Chain A
Amino acid sequence: MTEQPVHRLLGMTDGEYESVVGILDRPPMPAELAMYSVMWSEHCSYKSSRKHLGRFPTEAPWVVVGPGENAGVVDLGDGWLAALRIESHNHPSFVEPYQGAATGVGGILRDVFTMGARPIALWDQIRFGPLDNPKNRYLLNGVVGGIAGYGNAVGVPTVGGEIEFDAGYTGNPLVNVMCLGILKREQLVLGTAGTPGTMAVLLGKATGRDGIGGASVLASASFDDESGAKRPSVQVGDPFEEKKLIEACLELYEKGLVVGVQDLGAAGLSCATSEPAGRAGVGMEVDLDRVHTRESGMTAPELLMSESQERMMAFVAPDKVDEVLAIADKWEIDSAVVGEVKAGGTLRISHRGEVVAELPAATLADNAPLYDRPAQRPDWLDEVQARPGPDISSHDPADLLRDLLDDPAIGSSAWIHEQYDHMLFLNTVVGPGSDGSLLRIKGTEKGLAVSTDGNGRLCYLEPRIGGARLVYEAALNVAVTGARPIAVVDNLNFGNPEKPEVMWQFKESVEGISEACEALDIPVVGGNVSFYNETDGVDINPTPVVGLLGLADPMPEVPPRISRATDGMELWLVGPEASANLAGTAVQRLLGDEPGGIPTAPDPAPARNVIALAADLAHTAPVLHDISDGGMAVAAAEVSIASGIGVSVDVPIAEIFSEDPHRFLIAFESGSINLPPEARKVGVFGGNQIVINGSPLDLESAASSYGEALPRRMR
């Protein structure tokens, strides 16, 4: 093998290297090169995406902290704030699914409690290849095990999520995790180093060689046969340490002992020193010998690149340092004073008595390359979009429904969510298995609703429509839970950005999400980008995932649930009439058709009305259910199954499996609720069958299909 320059081994291009030389006005020392290489990796710098992320609408009167800090923060009124963030851990989860997913949970928690918030809930959005492939079963098992193992042990409930299967995820499973925290306004802490004289105190796990070249480099390169060689860089999560860290930090915040806090994620110490200094416009002196380590003989580059988990950097006024260390001791957390903030903007790092890095702190973040990669609509898209939609007229709707209920992405997710403690903290009013989660804020009338939504197939067909539809879908999910949408976080999972088609898909998705957020007046308060989800040259479907937070104030006294339908209740449908367009639907997938056509575009005006109406009806309706995967048939069946009572539905054929947006079902006792004139009655509950246009499906067997869809494939 020809010898490569070190910077290329670290994943930097020649151009990026030259840039560093330009900044320093000399060649970089090894530790400096290591720092630039991790900070300028795709995962840390967003160099291929930043240009387009500026498109997102990020402002609203209730946004307290927008994108750029560790988590977005919004105002809930009455002195309460919510912090939220979503992150991916895709590549590590392919390499080691349990630890990859576990450390993903750990990372997102830190992003939230670094803002001063107590994390109160998690959601997971996971995607795998088809389950008839044992490798995908192995990955699903490992990932769910890791999320459960970490989330349960750290003591934060995982209250919802979503799962999708597609062949493209076989080599590239997607593991996204969203976290929500709440705090009182006076507890808000930012990632700032403060003023000269402030001390940098490293808290948490001892630093080892974990993940060196891990998340930063792994997430910046696609998989190929040489992936095995990257294996040693696996980070192991310690939820117990994280729990202690959460409690210790919350105690520090409560006592007003920190000026700023930054969590150590990808790019570890390189980031936790430079970013807070950069934000504050100051410099810092750091002594790596003070860092508490797990392994001996670590070099300066290793110390600076390490992604050892469960570490935080606290910036503390000198007269408060002793108290901080005492609190760390009480919680049995290791700590070390590793640096001091200085005037000027230079980050000076020494190790074993020598200066190993001396650079302008802000340049690690601010001078990261900004690429405007070429974007071009794929030339295969016209043909894909021209494919005729499925013809369902010759199929028995009950047969199609039964098969849809057996789809592991549609069927019950109990096999997964019963492995997650979703009840801890006594906040979970509406938990897993519903359109949106509903959490109460004790001591107030407020409720927080969250929905997370992605749809790779839809975005493959038309990324702008797909991206927009995710926002509308999530907003309606949150509305039927009783809340008004107030903030979005996005996780953008895409293939190789060096391909113009992928870059086009990315731009279009961002545009679609932005348009929808603008139409609904919802700010984007943060996000994450995961590129290079590609194996052997094949990219995943463009898979943006939207996490949407809603506020219910007051929360419905008796929230609607899909299990509250009773004998004799009427089933009504609210929203625009369905088109006959089945592009991108579950039934298209079921019939074995290649994805094709152009999905129905969203329509802002009816959307706004429907969302407002749903949020309102949530205070009085026993049952509300958003129509999405599998259309109205699946939605009605889910209510029927959850309530243990049959339902009979009569609708035009186009309505049965349509997944057109802005539509929901409502069930209530006749005459008990007033609906707008456009709403239409579609059915009635009773008996022990699910009947679609006269075609029956036995309720018990439907429930069985639905319940077994996932578990039977995992045995």
Chain B
Amino acid sequence: MTTAVVVFPGTNCEHDVVTAITQLGGSARLVWHRETDLDGYDSVVLPGGFAHGDALRTGAIARFSPIMEPVARFAEEGKPVIGICNGFQVLCEAGLLPGALIANRDLSFICRFIDVEVTDTATVLTNKAEPGQRLRIPLNSYEGNWVSPDGEGRVVAKYVDDPNGSTDRAAAVANEAGNVVGIMPHPERATDALLGSTDGDVFLRSFLSSLVPV
């Protein structure tokens, strides 16, 4: 059971995600954005970074990469697809998640640990959390502010204190089926006590436990 970690030009968190997944006993491999199939993979992570330098709108160009077609099929088939930070932005631009990510309310990049509260455990990213569980993970983003003018979207984790103006204090949003989840803060950056927190393990264990043998 191997997770595909997609790499766009400008992506920079791919190695961190592979490290975090491997540390928890999972298996992950990097997949270049120009690949056209996901044969042999059972799940997808779109990691953080600055795909295409965030040109035009963040995620706006990455959504057209060849790899996004098989990713969309995965999503349709109910397989686990998560987007972290920039990955979340790409999923929204690709229409695989509702809403969009815009600039933080205070128009400043934010890099610090924050607390999130899991409000919905029926997703591939939150099923190992207790409802209402608080987890401390890093937020590192400029366009972390989730908006959903049509009111759609399942908010599955919220910021305890609003850092960026995100609607409903949304930190993580899922599709109806719960197999596609976008999360703005970085769970993979909270998997080592030496670096400050291991709360990210809860999210990643949820993800790994939702993998079905291919």
Contact = CB atoms under 8 A, between A and B. Distances in A.
A422 B111 contact: yes
A243 B19 contact: no
A233 to B, nearest CB: 24
Contacts of A424: 12-13, 16, 140
Contacts of B112: 414, 418
B69 interface: no
Given A152-B109, A420-B111, A422-B111, A240 B50 contact: yes
Among B54, B111, B112, B195, max chain A CB count under 10 A is at B111
Contact of A419 (B111, B138, B188, B195): B111
A238 B53 contact: yes
B35 interface: no
A155 B49 contact: yes
Nearest to A424: B12
A497 to B, nearest CB: 38
B95 interface: no
B53 A426 contact: no
A85 interface: no
Contact of A240 (B9, B140, B189): B9
A423 B9 contact: no
A327 interface: no
A586 to B, nearest CB: 27
Interface string A393-414: 0000000000000000000001
Interface in B124-162: 138, 140, 142
Nearest to A238: B53
B132 to A, nearest CB: 26
Contact of A417 (B111, B140, B142): B111
A153 B111 contact: no
Given A418-B112, A423-B111, A423-B140, 15 more contacts: A148-B109, A152-B109, A153-B50, A155-B49, A239-B53, A240-B10, A240-B50, A243-B10, A244-B9, A414-B112, A422-B111, A423-B195, A426-B19, A426-B188, A442-B19
A421 B189 CA distance: 12
B9 A243 contact: yes
A544 to B, nearest CB: 30
A62 interface: no
25 contacts: A152-B50, A152-B142, A239-B50, A239-B53, A240-B10, A241-B53, A243-B9, A243-B10, A243-B12, A244-B9, A332-B9, A414-B112, A417-B111, A419-B109, A420-B109, A421-B111, A421-B140, A423-B186, A423-B189, A424-B12, A425-B15, A426-B16, A426-B20, A426-B188, A428-B195
A155 B50 contact: yes
Interface in B145-190: 186, 188-189
A331 B34 CA distance: 11
Interface residues of B, number: 28
Interface in A404-458: 414, 417-426, 428-429, 440, 442
Contacts of A152: 50, 109, 142
A556 B111 CA distance: 25
Given A153-B54, A155-B49, A426 B109 contact: no
Interface of A: 148, 152-153, 155, 238-241, 243-244, 331-332, 414, 417-426, 428-429, 440, 442
Contacts of A425: 15-16
B12 A155 contact: yes
Contacts of B12: 155, 243, 424
B24 interface: no
Among A148, A152, A417, A424, max chain B CB count under 10 A is at A424
A261 to B, nearest CB: 21
Contact of B111 (A243, A418, A426): A418
Contacts of A414: 112
Contacts of A417: 111
Contacts of A155: 10, 12, 49-50
Interface string B104-124: 000011111000000000000
Nearest to B52: A240
A702 B184 CA distance: 33
Contacts of B140: 421, 423-424
Contact of B195 (A238, A418, A421, A426): A426
A99 to B, nearest CB: 15
A424 B10 CA distance: 13
Contacts of A428: 195
A429 B16 contact: no
B50 A243 contact: yes
B212 interface: no
Contacts of A420: 109, 111
A426 B192 CA distance: 9
A162 B197 CA distance: 26
B34 to A, nearest CB: 8
A154 to B, nearest CB: 8
B196 to A, nearest CB: 8
B194 interface: yes
Given A153-B50, A155-B49, A239-B53, A244 B10 contact: yes
Contacts of A240: 9-10, 50, 52-55
A414 B50 CA distance: 23
B37 to A, nearest CB: 18
Nearest to A419: B109
A423 B111 CA distance: 8
Contacts of B16: 424-426
